[in-house]
Amino acid sequence: MTWLDTSTENCTVRRTLDLIGEKWSMLVLRDAMNGVRRFDDFRRHVGLSESVLADRLRKLVAAGILDTVPYSEPGSRTRHEYRLTRKGWELWPAMIALKQWGDRHTADPEGPPLEVVHDGCGEEVRAAVVCGAGHGELVPPQARTRPGPSARLADPVPPKAAQRR
């Protein structure tokens, strides 16, 4: 079975993008990974409307990517902070990879506006694709795809003549 023979109906990339692939969701996650927790701080820093932010936060909570934690300031009603779950933090390498690509291809001439560094030595953190068996970093020609356990055949494409009718 080749890639073109494989159905994309249950593609995990597609399913992931359904959860987090919208721009505002990614920016909310970026801010959450940088310590933003409160609704008003997200709204102010990300710069989106209350209704859009509420919708994105609701979806991320429903997906188990964010969790709500109650808090209250003296004299105020109880509110909720938004914190990344373990599932949410598992997106951190993907966020680092997006940042790394953006730093290389879209940064200002002076460089990126934010650096992520190793707390222990101060060197920049980077994402890499590595072999699960310990053979180190890989480049695209060193990897290939193969059908996984849930791979299904794609529906056959009708002949061109049948499509025109």
Residue 164 lies in a domain: no
Helix (H, G, I), strand (E, B) or coil at 79: strand
Is residue 162 scored above 60 in pLDDT? no
Which domain does 95 fall in, by range? 3-156
- For the stretch 91-149, pLDDT in tens is 999 999 999 999 999 999 999 999 999 999 999 999 999 999 999 999 999 999 888 88
Residue 162 lies in a domain: no
Residue 41 lies in a domain: yes
Residue 106 lies in a domain: yes
pTM for the whole structure: 0.85
If one counts the domains in the chain, the total is 1
How does DSSP classify residue 82?
Answer: E
CA dihedral (126, 130, 134, 135) positive or negative:
negative
Task: Give the CATH number, domain containing residue 118.
Answer: 1.10.10.10
